[in-house]
Amino acid sequence: MLEIITDSLTRQTKGSQLLTILLQEEYALLRASKPDQVAALELTIQELIRQLVREREFLLRILRAGGFAKLRPYLDTLDETARVGVETTLARLSDFEQTSARQATINADLAMALWTQSGELLRHFQNKVAPRERNTYTAKGTWYNRPTTAALVRGRL
């Protein structure tokens, strides 16, 4: 059982390390304004997170099958050297998870800022394109009382 738990924790650690790397790459793509590549990378990140959740559920099933509700009571039954090895792996896992969480927060803040900036820019362009006066002449020369929202412009040069 110890080997299964150690292997599971090692896989989770490596997965969390990979998640950190992918989130840093996502940040670089967000900064470079490459939305298509960000979307593709986001799918990869979501799949990795699903796999990490499945691995954690697997670990809990193994612990429950052994009669333990959580990992800590199981660790208390191990000898000193085995416990230290598992606790070292747990510490590394925790470090990578915290780094990933911080990077995910930074990415979310940047994505939200870019979304807000794009919305403001679009609103600015719409205000510039929208007719200032409601009442104008049509292409046929008749008077037209149009709404204040922007519409598709047609005409000849």
124 lies in a domain? Answer: yes
**Residue 78 has what pLDDT?**
87
What's the rounded Cα separation, in Å, for the pair 80 and 142? Answer: 92
Question: For the domain that residue 74 is a member of, what is the CATH number?
Answer: 1.20.58
151 lies in a domain? Answer: no
Tell me which H or E stretch contains 136: strand 135-137
57 lies in a domain? Answer: yes
> 105-121 b/e with 16+ CB inside 10 Å = b?
eebeeebeeeeeeeeee
Task: List the domain range (segments joined by +) for residue 29.
Answer: 2-132
143 lies in a domain? Answer: no
Spatial CB neighbours of 123, under 8 Å, sequence gap ≥ 6: none
Tens digit of each residue's pLDDT, the chain (157 residues): 889 999 999 999 999 999 999 999 999 999 998 988 999 999 999 999 999 999 999 999 999 998 998 888 888 888 999 989 999 999 999 999 999 999 999 999 999 998 888 888 888 887 777 666 656 666 777 766 655 555 555 555 5
Asked whether 12 and 55 are in contact (CB, 8 A), the reply is: yes
85 lies in a domain? Answer: yes
66 lies in a domain? Answer: yes
Q: Which of 126, 121, 86, 107 is nearest to 21 (CA)?
A: 107
45 lies in a domain? Answer: yes
Asked whether 106 and 27 are in contact (CB, 8 A), the reply is: yes
Total number of domains constituting the chain: 1
Is the pTM value of this prediction over 0.85?
no
What's the rounded Cα separation, in Å, for the pair 145 and 137? Answer: 8
87 lies in a domain? Answer: yes
